[in-house]
Structure 1
Amino acid sequence: MAGNSKRRGAIRQRSSGNPTAGSGGRVRRGLEGKGPTPRAEDRPYHKAHKRMQAQKRAGATSDTRRGGGSGRAGTGGRAGDKPEWIVGRNPVVETLRSGVPVKTVQIAERVDRDDRVREILRLAAETGTPLLEVTRLELDRITSGAVHQGVAVQVPPYDYADPDELLQDAIDSGHPALLVALDGVTDPRNLGAVVRSAAAFGAHGVVVPERRSAGMTAAAWKTSAGAAVRVPVARAVNLNRTLKAYQKAGLRIVGLAAEGEGDLAEVADLDGPVVLVAGSEGKGLSRLVRETCDDLARIPMHSGTESLNAGVAAGIALYEVAQQRARAATAE
């Protein structure tokens, strides 16, 4: 009968020692692992972690060194503003040449050192700008995959001026106040072009709305060619209310509009305190701003051209103001 056999080997003999059959879960627990591998930046002994700490220290040092003064770079600005990146060899060279405040210069490891890269290294050394060598993968990550050509510079958040202080500084300058206001201009390159023209023709500053408007981003810094260091940009909570305050202070508000009553050259008193207001190329000036303006003036153009963007229109208007002021000064 099965199980009663007396023959040798018919009964399984149990060995001495650990009688437990199977692993008892030990193998399964061993296969579970220790969770996801931490990022390289989170591992204290990894070079990526050390590099990140060095960048933070370099950024803090740069902010301390660049604080104050007439340059508008700093830790101020609207809540939520973050440093931005200017990438590419030519843009980085232009940025460093023009005096744009820069937090750090980042160069990829084993980058081909042509004349532009050598100039970047020289300018960074001359200005005392922190220089960091990173991997190309790291540069891809921090620039969000932009075509960086192995180089990038970090621009700090812009420190906006107060509209009332901007007005007071213009009045105290000893020259007739000249300001430019932008209504609904959302392209930062247009803002940068206006700032550059404002610096070229002696304007005291630029005013933009706080909402639905371009800000001093890396693109605006780049287009301004460093002029934003010299010309303050103010943010107004309510642009129309700010223009009315300027009006009460004695400034003439001149709006640039295709439907203006006359040409800009025909507007009187441009040699006195003036605010030039430019709108977006598509919508122009808003209704409330248009109603606030003392004059609506157009820029003469050939019939085939419908409109000019804010950067071009403001540049032409600033030139006309400069010409009228020069003639007035000669007549005296």
Structure 2
Amino acid sequence: MQRKWYVFLVVAVFVLAVAPVVLAAEYVGSAACKKCHEAIYNDFIASGHPFKLQKASEARYRPLPLPKTWNWEDISYVIGGVNWKARFVDKNGYIITATKRGKPIPTQFNLATGEWVNYHPGEKKPYKCGPCHMTGYSPEGHQDGLEGIVGTWAFPGIQCEECHGPASAHVRSPRKAKPKVDRSAAACGKCHVRGDKNKIPASKGFIRHHEQYQELLASPHGNNLECVDCHDPHKKAVASIVQSCSDCHADAAKAVANNIHGQSRIDCIECHMARATKSAVKFDQNVGDIRTHLFRINTDPNYTMFTEDGKLAKNALSLRFACLGCHKSRDAAWAAAYANQIHPK
């Protein structure tokens, strides 16, 4: 009996000794991806995703001014600073909203206009945007020990692994350990959403930013298209387009090609993806700085795109955005007379 137990223990020890060790997946950084995926990496690094948050030591070499009284030695991180706007995080982890002595001043720098604007002037603003601005975010603790930062992360910004998962196993064994690939709109919707996915928050006459998922769901394409059907997620917004409207809407495209809009090379998106969203600036009352993904246009001149309190957008663009952003001297009644003649529905 003792001999049987002895043999059993020897076999058990041998099995455990030769069994493969399953290591927990770890984040290794986008530079590790570059070794095999250099072309994709180069496209991706030129987009805005990796720079949602940058260490001051890296961002200081970009042509960014700083809020009054502050210098780079006072800054721990820069929020954005690539496409629309830049905000700054101090050495305690709080978003800067005032001078170093506490006087409220404009502290958000808008890149398109070169202007400083208010961002919660004088308030004490913790940095709690980690779930959508970071790779490998955890709500526990404070990054770098800075009390104003809520949570910790593996890497700042949206790196490859935020969408494809921790890559340590894939780097060790590329053929056996495949990265996560989720092509659903919901994957993008983890961040391109604001609150309830079935509502579209608005403010001051524009859709609020990072709500593309909500807009898509409310649009005619919400049930049959994923973001990647039109976009390459590794590239900048304009360069990312992999499919044009005419690929699916051939009749409408043909009709437009033969009218004044087509002859003037006015693209579908100028009307159906008008800049009805504002991230940093509005160029006038009908033109924000981000294109909408609602697509549908309501051609009733009396249609109002926002709820009475202005806090929510409806599921279609008004003629104010679709037409009057270009035809600035006209009104909705004029636009309505022409809108239904542009192409077949």
TM over 0.5: no
Structure in which a larger fraction of residues adopt strand: 1
User: Relative contact order, CA 8 A, sep 6+: which one is greater?
Assistant: 1
From the two aligned structures, give the one with the greater helix fraction.
Answer: 1
What range is the shorter-chain TM-score in?
Answer: under 0.3
Q: TM-score, normalised by structure 1?
A: 0.22
